[in-house]
Structures are given as structure tokens and as C-alpha cells.
Amino acid sequence: MTEIHTMPIAEPVLEVRGLSAGYGKRAVVHEVDLTVRAGEIRVLLGHNGAGKTTLVRTVFGLLRPTSGTVRYRGEDITRRRCADNVKAGIALVPQGHGIFRSLTVRENLELGAYTAQDPAEIRVNRDAVMDLFPILRERAGQIAGTMSGGQQQMLAMGMALMHRPDVMILDEPSIGLAPNLVQRVMEAIAEVNRTLRMAVLMVEQNVVHALPIAQSVTVLRTGRKIYEGPPEPLGDRQYLMTLF
Amino acid sequence: MEYLAHILVMVCLYGILATSFNLLIGFGGIFALAHATFYASGAYAAGILATKLGIGFPLTLLAGTVVTAAIGLLVAFPAMRVGSHYLVVITLALQAITIDVLMNSKPLTGGPDGIPGIPPVSLFGTALTSPVSFLPLAAVMAALCCAVAWRLGASPFGRSLRAMRENEAAAQAVGKNLVRMKLVVFAMSAGLASVAGTLVAHYIAFVNPESFTIEETILILAMVILGGMGNLWGSLAGAAILVLLPEGLKFVHVPGDIADMVRQVIYGVVLIVILRLRPEGLFPETVFRTSTGAARSSVPANGPPTGALERASGTPGEVVVSATSLSKHFGGIQAVKDLTIDLKRGEIVGLIGPNGAGKTTAFNLLSGFLRPTGGTILYRGRDVTKLKPHEVVAAGLARSFQDLKLFTKLTVVENILVSLPAQPGDRPLDVYFRPGLVRRADRENVARALEIASFVGLLAKADETAANLSYAEEKLLVIARLLATGADVLLLDEPLSGLDTVTVERICGVIRDLARANKAVCIIEHNLEVIRGVCDEIVFIDEGRVLTKGPPDTLMRDRELAERYFG
Amino acid sequence: MDLLIQLTLNGLFNGAHFALLAMGFALIFGTTGVVHFAYGPVYAVGAYAIWALAVLVGLPFWAAVLLGVALTAALGVGCYLFIYRPFEISGSPPFVVLVASLGLFIVMKNLIGIVFGTGVKTVDSVAYDVHFVGNAFFTTVQLGQVAAALLVGCGIALFLRASRYGKAIRAMADNREMATVIGIDTTRLSILVFALGSAVSAVAGSLVLLRDGLNPNMGFGAVFVAFVAVIVGGVGSLRGAVIAAFLLAFVQSLGMWQIPTEWQNTIVFVVLFGFLLARPSGIVRRA
């Protein structure tokens, strides 16, 4: 568990310390530490049931932790409501259907900025999102549920970007997508990170596509952190096999 | 005196209604809100037969029961197709139709005026016209009905009903025929309710539609919930309380029609209050749990399993299950295509592959939960492709679920008991007419269930409710339940996920024991280290088809597979 | 021929009434998932309140309606806050909430009877005309039902489409968890839809008061028709519920051509059953 930093260390945006969480009596995440620094893409890897989704849902405030703390820009947000976290600048793109399927693309985007008040600002943000994902402008009037899986994933990300978060949490954006689409989604995430200088915490199982855009990696196994560091060592699949 | 007798008669009648309704919703978990319909059917059958055809009491009872049980069977059919809200709407609609029919079939039912002048019951030459004279009959009938309901509820069949209530898919997966169970419980519940109807018709000498509205169903529901779902004694208590409670109104002077409405208000308030304060009711269902007392002494506390693991017959290595070219598509999505897999005696096969590769779908196909669009599944040469889940289990192939699907409110030993095959106590006829056989068989089954509990290390928790287990214990119970089915082909869907290393080792040990006992085992697992440790062969599935298979070490060294697994 | 015209007209007017009831119920059920049986008695209480304000207090009818609608909205919100929400918070299974709503149903229904008596209540102070089409006829009140259904329908549609809260309601009905994720306060929205849905039912109640008069039993038929319309129309679709409401009314009305009037519920049941078997997801399927 050695951390290797080749770049100057940016300040932490999200700091998770000793977080344990689960469903009812079932503990799924055990005392996990995790830091996401400004402007970085941190990828959270692990096999099915390793606790990745539980971890990020707890960080976002959808689940109450059994112990541990979550800090956002130094402020303790451990038991805060989602709505407040959204306002403060955290966005979650949940697994699977992170959109409102029966609403149009435009409506989905507007709802992404639900906590924002200023209509002019919403419009500006919407234009920015549509510049980033031109397909969303093209399909603005379409019912979201009728778009392809890849387009839906773009929309889900677009919604998260609508209130200009400082950190975006993505829960398995590649799930259910064909390999070439996964590639495109990953490129989009890298671009968002680059152009908006936004920190990204991404849960993934798709190691092949996630590693190239990762700047740092955390690996969970059965709810515990077993690796933290740069992505490079994980390029060795044999090593990965032992981790999974 | 007459007044008191009248109240007691009403307690008896509602006792019958509440216990019979409890069988349906408390035991079976079937939310069919049409109990007043069954009640009405018994009452009108008696009224019509007695006034139009001059048929007397015991015969009206018999006819009413048969007719109403048949109506119950009819209602059971929609109850099998739809669940939850839809069933509620359909049964409410049925309730509304009942009133329509009673109101509008004037020649038969007398319409809104009902049927007056129903002759009283005559027994031994005396007409039972007064409440005091009727009470003994009501009490005997109530005792009889409760005994019938109690016998069913406390039998292994009742246990299976409670299991079905907890989780229908899991009940099927341990070999229960849900269609048969639902038909039986509907017919029984309806038939018993009609007894109360017949009695009330002869007792009051008059029936009209107003007595059988939705309010009546809600009243009976309130009695069941107040007493406790799944506890038949509770229903008697609930009936007594809700019949007695409004009688206090007699002492304040309110006009009759207002008193009626005040009574309804009281019922409603009681219902809401009990749901808020004590949703499990006054008397929780613990009484109906299976006791293990006597059988426990015979089981070694922590010794080696004596008979828990019967060795499956046949030669090791023999192919037991062979699935050929299975395919399944949902709409346009091809979840499984051309999947071919063999399971052999004494071998552990690991099914691995990326998320969404079709592993669980493969299990669903093999266990009858999904019907393949193409391909065949042979179990020891017999075609089992088109069998229903419970038939597949009976044939010898059982599966577990990723999300466990335990019977949460049942005890550990009950979870295992329910899963044991071919129980005489699961056959309602045997429950009533061969009690000795049922008792003997169940005693043996309890002992066997305890052995299995001991084998997986859950003996100390045998009488604990499954809801109180730790996650690791829950996973052990899943395996115990699977074992109990007696199947010799076992499909385990992620038996190890989310467990600490100690429990993983323990369960791996159990899985190896299964293979040593000559069973064919197939597991889905994501933890590759575990797969390598426990499996004889790995089948790698991607995009719904078998990509390759072979010994774990060879496969794990395959670079291309690694890329696929992680990509 | 005249009979056919009359039956068609009746279908139309009844359809408007059913549509109002179905819209209110659909708003509540579709958004919060609460099977609000007490919707029936709440609607009845609303109608009785309007009657009391108009007849006992002597308010002008329009004022009575306005006040009555507001009271009904408040009563609906009360049901949510004091009965359903505590169950939601404690994580009770859906059937517990459903049974509680049944309890609330009989409490409110019988309270109406206790307070107002079981006799039929009518308003005589409002005069209306009778119009003829050939030998078939209809009244201004019936026209009012169609107008109200149109107005309320368009109003709700506009609100749901164009306003921020409206969109949030549609979002919550579509995907409750995602609504939380983007920062929507689901409790506040639940209060809003209970208020709106109950208010809509009171509008229907005011017109039924003029058309047929009131009795304490009116709630069951109302919630029954509304529930069936929502299921037949497809849960979550307001448009589906409206279409289904008209469908039910027309089938009922035209059924009377051959079938005696009293079998209305049975006709509704047959439609429901046919739909559940043939098209379980309802007329309008969700994307």
C-alpha cells in the first residue's frame, strides 16, 4: 500500500476516513480510506460485491455510514442530505438508469440543475454541456428512454454537470455498453476532467478501459482496500488476477 | 343473558372469519381483499336453499362450503397471475361485483331487500331461535373450523405457506408447487368463511347485501392484523376484541344507525393505531414455529455430519446434466446464445465472466425459472428443458440465489425443513386423514434438518429467526437449504461474495465436501482466487456463450481471457 | 337512435367526471406510490364541505367551491403527513400503508355519516338549464363537468410540463431515487401532489353535488373507478388514466344499451380484467 506521487500533490477535495457501511446488519464496506484530489481521476476497482457502489453511495449521502467520516473541501459532510451535497458541488451519476427515462433530454438536463435558481445560469450551463456532448443538442426533444445506452450515459453525465460540480462520482459508467461505446464514454470523462478541471471518482469493473484515463487507483476486495496508488502496476494482468 | 349469548355468538362467527382470512393473508401472504364475498356466498347459499328448496341446516352448510370453495378456486386464478396492487384492485372489484349480483339478481337473492324468513337450525327436535340456544352450535362450529384451520396452519403445509409468503421464488426453488398451494389455501379459506355465512343466515333468519360490503372485509382484516398475522389464536382474540369493544356504545345512548357508524370508526382507528404501534399484532406468529426441543438431543453438537450428506449414487465423473445450445432472448436482447455445458458427478465447475455475461441467466435456464428459447437440458438423460422450477428440483437439480432469498421470518431450522423433499405433511389430505404418518415424518424431518444445520455449523442458531442471522450465517443457511432439497446437482450463485476470508474458507470446505459426496456442483463467483482454490474446471462465459473451458490454472494464465475479464 | 345518442352523451359526461377523479388519484399514486384508498372519502368530505358551506353557511356557490377545494387539499395533505408519512419514515412494507389507508377509508366514510347523516344532500339554490339534442338531453352541470375536466386536465398538463415543480413531480414519478440524487425534496413534492390531487377530486365533487347530490357511500365508487382507470391506463401515465376513464364511462354507458343499469361495477370489472390479462402494462406504456 505505498503511495507513489510523481506529480505535485494537489489539495484533497473528498477525504474519506475509516468509512464502514452496509445494508441493515450486513456490513459491506470496512474502514476504507480514500482521497480524491482536485483535478484528478481516481478509479475505484474491485470485483462484484466488493463494496464499490456502497462506498460511493455512502460518500454521496444516499446511505448512512456505520462509522467513519467524509470530508468535502475540509468540511465534515458525513451525515448530510444529498440535496445539500448537490448544492455544495458534488454530483453522482448512479449505476444503470441515471436518467429520467420518460422525460425529454432537455428536461433531464434542466432537472440536473434543480438546485440552481438562476435561469440564465442554467441556460449557460446547458449550452456548455451540449457543446461537450453535441448529441444531446441534436436529441434535445427526444424522450430520454428511447435513446441508445451510450447516449443515455452521456445524458446522465450531462445532468451531473449541469450544476457545475467540483467533483463528479460515476458508478460504473461502462455497464451494459458495447466495447466501442465504453471507449467513447471514457474519452468523454477524460475530456470533462481536462476541460473543466473537475475531480472524478469513478467506480469501474472494466479495467481495460478505465486504467488508461486513471491518474490514481484504489482497489477494493470484499469491502476492504487492498491497493492504492498509480495505475501503472495494474497494467500487469497477472498482478491484477491476484488482486481480484 | 340473551344479550351476552348474542355477543358470544358473534365472537364465534367472526372468529371463524378471522382465522380463515388469516390462513390466506397471514400464512399465504396473499392479499386478496374479498373475504366478505366468501362470507356472503355461504349466507346466501343457505338463505336460497332453505327458503326456495326447503333444505335444512347440515345440508345448507355442506352445499355452501362446496360452492364457496369453488368460488375461492376461481379467485385463486387471477391471484396467480398478478400480485400486489393488481390483486388488491381485482379482489376489490370482485367485492363490488358481489354486491351488484346480490342487489340485482332479485328472483334469487331478493335484491336490496335480501332474503327474510330463513328457517332456524333444528337440532334434536328443537329450533335454535334464541341466542342462548344457538350459542352451543356456534361454539362447536367455531371450534371445529378453528381446529381445521389450526391443523393446516401448524402442519408442514402451513410452514410451506409461510415460506411462500416470505419469498415465492425461493419457495419454488426448494421444490414447492405454488399453484397447488394457492389453490388449496384459497379453497380452504373460502370454504371456512362460508361456514360463518351459513350460520349467520340461520341465526339472524335474514340476509341482505349490506352485511357483505367492503367494510365487512376491512373489519375482518382489522381483526387479523390486531391479533397478529400468521397467528390463528391471535385472530380469535382480534375477533373477540373488535366484537366486544364497540359494545360499550350500548351504555351511552346513541341511535342505532349512528352506533353502527361509530363502530366502523372504532374499527378503522384500531387498525391504524395497531399498525403504527405494533404492526406484528398483539400475538406474533412465534407460536406456530416448529419446535426442535425433542429432536435436538439426538444431534451431535459439533460432531461430524452423520447423515447430513448422503452420498449420491453413480460413478464419479459421470455427466449428470448436459445442456446443449441453450439460448434465451428478452425482446431484442440475446442474453444467452448457444451455451453448452456439462456438469459431472463429484466435480466443481466455476462459471466466470464479466458482468452481464449471462451467468445468472444460465442458472435461471438450468433451474426452470426461465424457459430457453432454444436448446435442451438433459438430467441423467431425461429432458428437463420444459419443467417448472419445482419439478426441476424434484428431478434432482437445485439452485441458490445471489440475493439469498431466505425465508426471513422463519427460523433457521424451518428454512431447512421447508426445503426437505417429498413431505407427507405438504399434502393437505394426509394432514387431515393420516396425522400419524405426518407426525412421524415430520419428527424425522426435524431431526434431519438439525443434522444439516449442524453440518453447516448453524446448530446453535437453529431456533433463531433467519432475520437475526449475521450475513455469513445467512450464506451458510442458503447452502443448508440447498442441501436439504436432496438434489444431486447444486447450482450456487455467488455463495462467497461479501464474506470475510474465514467464512470463505469454511464455505469452500463445505463445497468441497459436496463434491466428495459425489454431487455435481456449479458455482458463479467473481473472486478469482477462490475460484482457483475450489474449482476443478472453469467455464468462461462472455456475451452469453461459452468462450472457453479448462482447468483453473491454465485459464488464469491465458492473457486474452484476462483482457476480456477485465474489459 | 335517440337512445344511442343519449348513451353516448352520458358516456362523455361520466367520462369527464371519471377523468377528474382518475387524474387526482393518478397524481398521488403515480408520484408517491401510496395506494390512497382514503382518496374516496376525502373526495366525499370535500363535496360535503362545499354543500355545508353553500347550504348551511349560505355562501355563494362559487365561494363555497373555492373554500371547499382548499379544505379538501388540506385534508389530503393531512392524510399524508399524519397517516402515510410516519409509515414511510419507519420503512413499513407497502401492504402496511395500504391497510392503513383502508382503515382511514372506513373512519372517514363513517364520520361523514355521523356528522351529516345518511340522507342524500342536494343544493337547490343553483339553477341550471336542460339542453336537448333530438330527444336526448343534457344539463349545464354536465357541460360543466366536461369543461372542468378539460380545464383541470390542461392545467395539470401545463403545470407538469412547464413549471419547475411540475417537472420535479414527473421526475419523482419516473425514478424516485434519481430524484433524490439531483437534490429534489421528495417529502415536499409528496405534500404538493396530495394537495393537488385532493383539490382536483373536490372539483369533481362540487359538480356531482349539483348533478346527483351526495351520500356517504359515494367515496368507494369514486376511488374504485379512479384506481381501475389508473391501472388500465398504465401506472404513471396521466394521459393513460384519462383515456381509461373515458373508456370505462363509454363501456359502462353503452353497455346499458343491452345490460341493466345496476351492473355498472361488473362492467368496470370486466374491462379491468380484460386489460390485466391482455395488456398488463396498461394503455400507455412507460418509456
Do B343 and B389 have their domain in common? Answer: yes
Q: Do A244 and B526 touch (CB under 8 A)?
A: yes
Q: How far is CA A91 from CA A171, A200, A211, C17, in A?
A: 11, 10, 22, 44
* C-alpha cell read off for A184: 467513447
pLDDT of residue B239: 94
What is the rounded distance in angstroms from the CA atom of residue C19 to the CA atom of residue C152? 10
Give contacts of C96 with chain B, Cβ < 8 Å: 275, 279
Q: pLDDT averaged over chain A?
A: 87
* C-alpha cell read off for C173: 414519478
Domain A1-89+165-244 has CATH 3.40.50.300: yes
Name the residue ranges covered by the structural domains of chain A: 1-89+165-244, 97-164
Query: Which of C110, C273, C276 has the CB atom closest to B261's CB atom?
Result: C110
What is the rounded distance in angstroms from the CA atom of residue B65 to the CA atom of residue B45? 9
State the DSSP string of chain A.
------SPPPPEEEEEEEEEEEETTEEEEEEEEEEEETT-EEEEEE-TTSSHHHHHHHHHTSS--SEEEEEETTEE-TT--HHHHHHHTEEEE-SS--S-TTSBHHHHHHHHTTT---HHHHHHHHHHHHHHSHHHHHTTTSBGGGS-HHHHHHHHHHHHHTT--SEEEEE-TTTT--HHHHHHHHHHHHHHHHHH--EEEEE-S-HHHHGGG-SEEEEEETTEEEEEE-SGGGG-HHHHHHH-
Q: Do C178 and A94 touch (CB under 8 A)?
A: yes
What is the rounded distance in angstroms from the CA atom of residue B472 to the CA atom of residue C193? 43
Average pLDDT value for residue range A11-18: 92
Given pLDDT bands bounded at 50, 70 and 90, which one contains residue C208?
very high
Predicted ipTM of the assembly: 0.90
Burial B325-359 (b: 16+ CB within 10 A, else e): ebbbeeeeebbbbebebbbbbbbbbbbbbbebbbb
Residue B553 forms part of a structural domain: yes
Give contacts of A241 with chain B, Cβ < 8 Å: 528, 556, 562
Q: Do B497 and A49 touch (CB under 8 A)?
A: yes
H/E element, B3:
helix B2-22
Does pLDDT of B273 surpass 70?
yes
Q: Please name every residue paired with A224 in a beta bridge, in sequence order, or none if there are none.
A: A221
Q: pLDDT averaged over chain B?
A: 87
Name the residue with higher pLDDT: B544 or B347: B347
Q: Which residue of C has its CA nearest to B29?
A: C95
Q: How many CA atoms lie within 13 A of B373 on its CB side?
A: 14
Q: Do B499 and A222 touch (CB under 8 A)?
A: yes
Q: In this structure, are residues C16 and C196 in contact, taking their beta carbons and an 8 Å threshold?
A: no
What is the rounded distance in angstroms from the CA atom of residue C27 to the CA atom of residue C45? 19
- The sheet carrying A12-23 orders its strands as A26-37, A12-23, A67-72, A75-76
Burial C147-162 (b: 16+ CB within 10 A, else e): ebbeebbeebeeebee
Name the residue with higher pLDDT: A104 or A196: A104
Residue C279 forms part of a structural domain: no
Do B325 and B417 have their domain in common? Answer: no
Q: Do B566 and A47 touch (CB under 8 A)?
A: no
Name the residue with higher pLDDT: C126 or A156: A156
Determine the 3-state secondary structure of B344 from DSSP: strand
Do B103 and B86 have their domain in common? Answer: yes
Final residue before a domain boundary, out of B211, B242, B268: B211
Q: Do A237 and B566 touch (CB under 8 A)?
A: yes
Q: How far is CA A205 from CA A44, A244, B459, in A?
A: 8, 10, 38
A171 conformational bin, left if phi > 0, alpha if psi -120 to 50, beta if neither: beta
**Cβ-based interface (< 8 Å): residues of A facing C:** 60, 62, 82-83, 86-87, 92, 94, 97-103, 107, 110-112, 114-115, 143-146, 159
Query: Which of C164, C170, C180 has the CB atom closest to A103's CB atom?
Result: C170
**Cβ-based interface (< 8 Å): residues of A facing B:** 25-28, 47-49, 51, 175-176, 179, 205-209, 221-223, 237-238, 240-242, 244
Do B207 and B105 have their domain in common? Answer: yes
Q: Do C286 and A115 touch (CB under 8 A)?
A: no
Give contacts of B499 with chain A, Cβ < 8 Å: 222
Average pLDDT value for residue range B202-227: 92
The 10 Å Cβ neighbour count of residue C42 is: 31
* C-alpha cell read off for B36: 366478505
Place of cell 353535488: C209
Residue C269 forms part of a structural domain: no
Residues 6+ apart with CB under 8 A from B405: B167, B169, B170, B173
Average pLDDT value for residue range B406-419: 93
Place of cell 467533483: A167
Query: Which of B470, B498, B501 has the CB atom closest to A49's CB atom?
Result: B498
Residue B119 forms part of a structural domain: yes
Does pLDDT of C205 surpass 50?
yes
Average pLDDT value for residue range C270-274: 77
Residues 6+ apart with CB under 8 A from B377: B321, B322, B323, B324, B326, B365, B366, B383, B384, B385
What is the rounded distance in angstroms from the CA atom of residue B215 to the CA atom of residue B481? 42
What is the rounded distance in angstroms from the CA atom of residue B544 to the CA atom of residue B341? 12
Average pLDDT value for residue range B189-210: 93
Q: Do C273 and B93 touch (CB under 8 A)?
A: yes
Name the residue with higher pLDDT: A178 or B394: B394
Q: Do C170 and A100 touch (CB under 8 A)?
A: yes
What is the rounded distance in angstroms from the CA atom of residue B542 to the CA atom of residue B356? 8
**Cβ-based interface (< 8 Å): residues of B facing A:** 354-356, 470-471, 494, 497-501, 526-529, 556-557, 559, 562-563, 566-567
Name the residue with higher pLDDT: A182 or C34: C34
Span B246-269, pLDDT tens digits = 887 777 777 777 888 888 899 999
CATH classification of the domain holding B466: 3.40.50.300
pLDDT of residue C285: 62
Q: In this structure, are residues B36 and B98 in contact, taking their beta carbons and an 8 Å threshold?
A: yes
Given pLDDT bands bounded at 50, 70 and 90, which one contains residue C13?
very high
Nearest in space to A9 (alpha carbons), one of A45, A29, A43, A39: A39
Span B16-49, pLDDT tens digits = 999 999 999 999 999 889 999 999 999 999 999 9
Do B433 and B472 have their domain in common? Answer: yes
pLDDT of residue B305: 52
B453: amino acid identity, one letter: A
Q: Percentage of chain C surpassing pLDDT 70?
A: 97
Give contacts of C33 with chain B, Cβ < 8 Å: none
Is any Cβ of chain A less than 8 angstroms from the Cβ of C163? no
Q: In this structure, are residues B474 and B379 in contact, taking their beta carbons and an 8 Å threshold?
A: no
Residue B311 forms part of a structural domain: no
Give contacts of C108 with chain B, Cβ < 8 Å: 268
Number of domains in chain C: 1
Does pLDDT of A124 surpass 60?
yes
Does pLDDT of B480 surpass 50?
yes
Query: Which of C92, C107, C231 has the CB atom closest to B268's CB atom?
Result: C107
Question: Strand A75-76 and strand A90-93: pairing?
Answer: unpaired
Q: Do A111 and C167 touch (CB under 8 A)?
A: yes
Residue C283 forms part of a structural domain: no
Q: Min CA distance, C182 vs chain B (Å)?
A: 27
The 10 Å Cβ neighbour count of residue A87 is: 15
pLDDT of residue B308: 55
3-state helix, strand, coil in chain C (%, to 5): 75, 5, 20
Do B56 and B167 have their domain in common? Answer: yes
Does pLDDT of A4 surpass 90?
no
Q: Which residue of B has its CA nearest to A237?
A: B562
Span B488-535, pLDDT tens digits = 899 999 888 777 778 888 889 889 988 988 899 999 987 777 888 889
Does pLDDT of C223 surpass 90?
yes
Nearest in space to B216 (alpha carbons), one of B200, B231, B234, B233: B200
* C-alpha cell read off for B379: 438430467
Does pLDDT of A1 surpass 50?
no
What is the rounded distance in angstroms from the CA atom of residue B500 to the CA atom of residue B295? 32
Number of domains in chain B: 3
A184: amino acid identity, one letter: R
Given pLDDT bands bounded at 50, 70 and 90, which one contains residue C266?
confident
Q: Do C110 and B268 touch (CB under 8 A)?
A: yes
Question: Strand A41-46 and strand A216-221: pairing?
Answer: parallel
Does pLDDT of A2 surpass 50?
no
* C-alpha cell read off for B404: 439469498
Q: Min CA distance, C141 vs chain B (Å)?
A: 28
CB pairs under 8 A between A and C: 65
Final residue before a domain boundary, out of B441, B463, B486: B486
Average pLDDT value for residue range A20-45: 89
What is the rounded distance in angstroms from the CA atom of residue A172 to the CA atom of residue A96? 8
B150: amino acid identity, one letter: W
Q: Which residue of C has its CA nearest to A99?
A: C178
Burial class (CB in 10 A: 0-12, 13-18, 19+), C69: buried
H/E element, C190:
helix C186-211
* φ, ψ at B146 (rounded to 5°): -65, -40
pLDDT of residue A241: 65
What is the rounded distance in angstroms from the CA atom of residue B213 to the CA atom of residue B431? 34
Do B386 and B469 have their domain in common? Answer: no
Is any Cβ of chain C less than 8 angstroms from the Cβ of B94? yes
What is the rounded distance in angstroms from the CA atom of residue A136 to the CA atom of residue A158? 8
Span B438-458, pLDDT tens digits = 888 888 888 889 989 988 888
Q: State the residue range of the domain holding C181.
A: 2-217
Q: What is the DSSP letter of B220?
A: H
Do B177 and B207 have their domain in common? Answer: yes
Query: Which of A82, A102, A144 has the CB atom closest to C181's CB atom?
Result: A82
Place of cell 374499527: B267
* φ, ψ at A101 (rounded to 5°): -65, -30
* C-alpha cell read off for C53: 358551506
Place of cell 443515455: A152
Give contacts of A175 with chain B, Cβ < 8 Å: 355-356
Q: State the residue range of the domain holding B383.
A: 318-396+491-499+521-567
Do B172 and B71 have their domain in common? Answer: yes
Average pLDDT value for residue range C212-236: 89
Does pLDDT of C59 surpass 70?
yes
What is the rounded distance in angstroms from the CA atom of residue B31 to the CA atom of residue A147? 38
pLDDT of residue B490: 93
Is any Cβ of chain C less than 8 angstroms from the Cβ of B75? no
